[in-house]
Amino acid sequence: MWYQSQSFRRTTQIVLLTFAILALMGAGDDESRFQGLGHRMMCVCGCGQILLECNHVGCQYSDRMRSELLAALDRGDNDDLITQAFVQKYGTTVIAAPTTTGFNRLAWIMPFLALVLGLVTTALIVREWKDRPAPATPAGVVPVTGSELETFRRQAREETEL
């Protein structure tokens, strides 16, 4: 098969490598890490806003938290360490989205499970509908099929187009 050929695989590898390099270019600088981490955390003052979007002047928390985030980046801490430090200090609610560990993983899995369940259900419905016997035709009426049906449909479309 064409997709098993060596040239296809090589091209795919080159394309993927190019995308990976482009994606990694510029990643990791402190400003983008500050923005990334700051948008993955919540301000804990009760405003319900993302840390970097909290705009309450005199907010007891957001200014201090931003300073702590900058300090941690200056120290060279990695993202996981910074996140853990914030969780220890401010509690689990400081993280803006559930983690992908333990019970919290369920938060991420369920939408995909729902999608799969929905697709399976839809497939079953479609199969049931397709297997259903066609409705009975009134006596004396010859069902129109095939190219003749297409002709009538085209004619109806052209004459009404609604």
Partner 1 sequence: MSQIGSFALLLALALSAYAFFAGIAALAREGPESERLGETARRAGIATFAAVLLAAVVLVMAAFADDFSIAYIFHHSNRDLPGPYKFATLWSGQEGSLLFWSLLLASYGLVLRLRHKTDQRLFAYASVIIAAVQIFFLLLLNFAAHPFAIMQGQLPADGNGLNPLLQYPEMVIHPPMLYLGYVGFTIPFAFALGALIMRYPGEKWIHITRRWTMVTWGFLTIGIFLGAHWAYSVLGWGGYWGWDPVENASLMPWLTGTAFLHSVMMQEKRGMLKIWNMWLIFATFGLSIFGTFLTRSGVVSSVHAFAQSAIGNWFVAFLAVIAVTCTYCFFKNKSHLRSEHKLESLVSRESSFLFNNLLLLLACFTVLWGTLFPILSQLVQGTKVTVGPPFFNKVNVPVALLLLLLTAVGPLLAWRKTSLESLKRNFLWPTMGAASVAIALLVLGVRPWRDVSYFYSLMTITLSALVAFTVISEFLRGGRVIADKTGRTLPASMIRLWHRNTRRYGGYIVHFGVVVVMIGLAGSAFNQDKEKEMGYGDQLTIGPYQLVCRSYTQDSKPNYESEWAVINVYKNGQPLTTMYPERRFYRASQQTSTMVANRSTIQEDLYIVYEGLNQDTGRPIIKVHLNPLVMLIWLGLLVMVFGTITALIPNAAPVRATVPARVRAAPVGVED
Interface residues with partner 1 (CB under 8 A)?
19, 22-23, 25-26, 39-40, 42, 46-50, 53-55, 57-58, 91-99, 102-104, 107-108, 110-111, 114-115, 118-119, 122, 125-126, 129-135, 139-142, 144, 150, 152-153, 155-156, 158-162
CA distances from 138 to 50, 61, 149, 153 (A): 65, 76, 18, 20
Take residue 100 and report the two structure tokens written for it: 């992908």
Give me the least distance between CB of 89 and partner 1, in Å please: 15
Q: Are 65 and 44 in contact (CB under 8 A)?
A: yes
45 three-state secondary structure: coil
Measured from the CB atom, is 76 or 138 closer to partner 1? 138
Measured from the CB atom, is 4 or 45 closer to partner 1? 45
Give me the least distance between CB of 5 and partner 1, in Å please: 26
Question: How many other C-beta atoms are found inside a 10 Å radius of the C-beta of residue 56?
Answer: 14
Give me the least distance between CB of 156 and partner 1, in Å please: 5
Give me the least distance between CB of 13 and partner 1, in Å please: 16
Measured from the CB atom, is 5 or 55 closer to partner 1? 55
Amino acid at 44: V
Measured from the CB atom, is 11 or 55 closer to partner 1? 55
Torsion of CA 24, 68, 42, 23, to 10 degrees: 0
Measured from the CB atom, is 5 or 39 closer to partner 1? 39
- Bridge partners of 41, per DSSP, are 95
Give me the least distance between CB of 77 and partner 1, in Å please: 21
Question: Residues 50, 48, 98, CA angle at the centre, nearest 5°?
Answer: 70
